Amino acid sequence: MAGSLKTQRFNHTATLLPDGIPLIVGGTVDFNVGSLDSVELGNTFVSLPKITMASVAGKKLIVVGENFSQDAVILINGEEHKTRNNDQNPQTTLIGKRAGKKIKPGDRLQVRNPDGPLSEEFIFTGS
């Protein structure tokens, strides 16, 4: 039996997971609008994390964006780094405690939420 998507979308991917639940990723609302940053799992709507800015403050890597879950993880070139949510802005700011010493311009950043969604790559520019 098929259900309705919470967000109408075109040009998305759909994968049937081993437990029979469909995973719907990305796409567009219509052909004139940019891409969707969301995932639907069965009848559950999940927003993808999105990085909008990254900077270094001493040893800390500060990652700013949206849709960060509690216990989200920062990845630099695919490698996980110890991360914590900012107490004042837990859904929009992550802090990599010692990652500021390891990142360099051109490195690829991603954020992974504990329930699995992974952000698109963000290229660090060194600011």
Do 68 and 115 fall into the same domain? yes
Contacts of residue 93, Cβ cutoff 8 Å, sequence gap at least 6: 62, 63, 64, 68, 85, 86
47 pLDDT band (50/70/90 cuts)?
confident
β-bridge mates for residue 123, sequence order: 108
Do 30 and 75 fall into the same domain? no
**b/e code 68-88 from CB counts within 10 Å (16+ = b):** bbeebbbbbeeeebebbbeee
Query: Does position 1 have pLDDT exceeding 50, yes or no?
Result: no
User: For the chain, what is the mean pLDDT?
Assistant: 83
Do 38 and 65 fall into the same domain? no
Do 80 and 117 fall into the same domain? yes
Do 118 and 58 fall into the same domain? yes
Q: What is the pTM of this model?
A: 0.68
Do 79 and 115 fall into the same domain? yes
Higher pLDDT, 20 or 48: 48
One-letter amino acid of 13: T
Do 104 and 57 fall into the same domain? yes
